[in-house]
Amino acid sequence: MTSREQTASGPVATGPDSPGPTGGQPGSGSRSAPARRARGRPPRISREQIVAAARGLGPRDLTMQAVADALGVTRKALHYYVGDREGLLTLVVVDSFERQLGGVELPAGDDWRAVLRAYAVALRDGLVRIGVVTDFQRVRGLGTSAALALADRVLDALLAAGLDPDTARHGLTAASNIAQSAAQTLIGQTDSGMHRHRAETEAALRELPGDTYPALRRVLAAAPGQGGTPEREAADRRADAETQFAFELDLLISGLERLLASADGR
């Protein structure tokens, strides 16, 4: 690992602090000037220090100034290393994602279906836990060691099952996309358990004549979460989100099974 890591908006120092320049003034004899930081350079702080300070703050309190205060530096000094709040959030998301997935163990057997399903569940749950501060574009393709280890295990299982490298890659990508979509659904739910998009759709339909979009109205009317107490409706809607997640995984696994069967028949 190098002594500096590069974020999207600026470098993050990870190595030990380097001494400032020393040396005597011309004609001043053997006395040397005290060590000092290069002119204009802010105090050196590490990625670990920044993340540790951010962990101690609640999501809504996570500001550049709050982290700078916790580190005992100026906001300008923090800005030098993370760029802006977006860069700060990226560090926090990567750290949290790594810690969430670090303890996940996928099935050790040769059942690729179980491995693929466990991977999708672990990824979804990890994203949900960091969802308060997550912009999902930040987590696409994150190269954290935990995420890489899980991806490698899934690919190994798919290749061992007989899929070619391209199909194995497509299968892993599909599982990742399903997991991210499921996480977004859960994070986007209101207190009533309804996803904001569905709530907006139903609100729009109420403003239109009752005979418009009949198929859409029929499907929404039959969806879970209609009638009953508010608590029951919310529980039904959350259960439906889990059903949708399982449905999409089943479709993916069925499709991969058909591809394997076709390959065996050649």
Q: What digits encode the pLDDT tens for the residues 219-229?
A: 988 887 666 67
CA distances from 246 to 35, 73, 117, 172, 178 (A): 62, 48, 9, 16, 10
Tokens of 237: 């809607």
What pLDDT sits at residue 217? 92
**Closest listed residue to residue 98, CA positions, set 133, 123, 62, 63:** 123
Write out pLDDT tens, residues 134-181. Answer: 555 555 555 667 778 888 999 999 999 999 999 999 999 999 999 988
In this prediction, residue 2 has a pLDDT band, given cuts at 50, 70 and 90, of very low
Are 62 and 76 in contact by the 8 Å Cβ rule? The answer is no
Tokens of 61: 């309190």
CB atoms within 10 A of CB 227: 7
One-character DSSP codes across 193-212: S-BHHHHHHHHHHHTS-TTS
Question: Could you give the angle at the alpha carbon of 241 between the alpha carbons of 173 and 105, nearest 5°?
Answer: 50
Record the pTM.
Answer: 0.67
- The structural domains of the chain, ordered by start, are 1-13+42-83 (1.10.10), 97-187+229-265 (1.10.357)
Write out pLDDT tens, residues 186-219. Answer: 887 766 566 677 778 888 999 999 999 999 999 9
